[in-house]
């Protein structure tokens, strides 16, 4: 006999509820120009996606927020929402867009309207984390890995996305967080 579960997707519903509250609060607390500034962190390593080398077509890397403190706004991204339910991430400091260069990794380049290699589909998981699937690379999601070349950096590349119902490797799970910069406290009622 199948066990009755009144809310079988409660984790997913709770994650969506929390995200909605966060977005709603952010929309009220932030000015329109600062609302979409975020950092993108990996669940496995805690590393955030950063622009390390500022020249266009340079590789993007993952650094822990502590190790990336001196990078300033190169740690932060703004989100452009595309008509096809995808995101384009634009670096706040460089005004360049995250680009799926190849399965070897991510670069940042001049933003091009409609460029599929600059579009990423968020795929929600039951933990609340997301996979970031490249539109231009068939069924490939951003993944982080330990870099043997650099002690403090994590590499970024693309591996096959987990399918619906499969467990996704935590190296492929991401969270969209507030920007790694100072923030003003929103107005609130004091008791």
Spans of all domains in the chain: 36-178
CATH assignment of 36-178?
2.80.10.50
CB neighbours of 41 closer than 8 A, spacing ≥ 6?
47, 48, 65, 174, 175, 177
pTM of the predicted model as reported, rounded to 2 decimal places: 0.80
pLDDT in tens, 138-187: 999 999 999 777 778 999 999 999 999 999 999 999 999 999 988 888 88
Query: For the stretch 154-189, what's the b/e string if a residue is b when 16 or more beta carbons lie within 10 angstroms of its beta carbon?
Result: bbbbbeebbeeeeebbebbbbbbeebbeeeeeeeee
pLDDT in tens, 67-120: 999 999 999 999 999 999 999 999 999 999 999 999 999 999 999 999 999 999
């Amino acid at each position: 006999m199948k066990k009755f579960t009144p809310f079988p997707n409660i984790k997913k519903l709770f994650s969506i509820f929390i995200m909605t509250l966060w977005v709603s609060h952010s929309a009220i607390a932030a000015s329109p120009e600062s609302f979409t500034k975020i950092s993108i962190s990996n669940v496995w390593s805690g590393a955030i996606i950063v622009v390390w080398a500022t020249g266009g077509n340079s590789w993007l890397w993952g650094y822990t927020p502590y190790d990336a403190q001196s990078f300033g706004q190169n740690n932060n991204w703004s989100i452009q929402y595309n008509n096809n339910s995808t995101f384009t991430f634009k670096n706040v400091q460089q005004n360049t867009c995250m680009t799926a260069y190849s399965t070897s990794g991510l670069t940042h380049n001049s933003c091009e309207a409609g460029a599929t290699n600059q579009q990423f589909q968020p795929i929600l998981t039951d933990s609340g984390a997301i996979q970031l699937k490249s539109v231009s690379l068939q069924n490939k999601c951003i993944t982080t890995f330990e870099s043997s070349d650099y002690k403090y950096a994590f590499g970024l590349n693309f591996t096959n996305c987990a399918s619906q119902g499969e467990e996704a490797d935590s190296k492929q799970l991401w969270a969209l967080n507030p920007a790694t910069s100072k923030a003003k406290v929103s107005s609130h009622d004091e008791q």
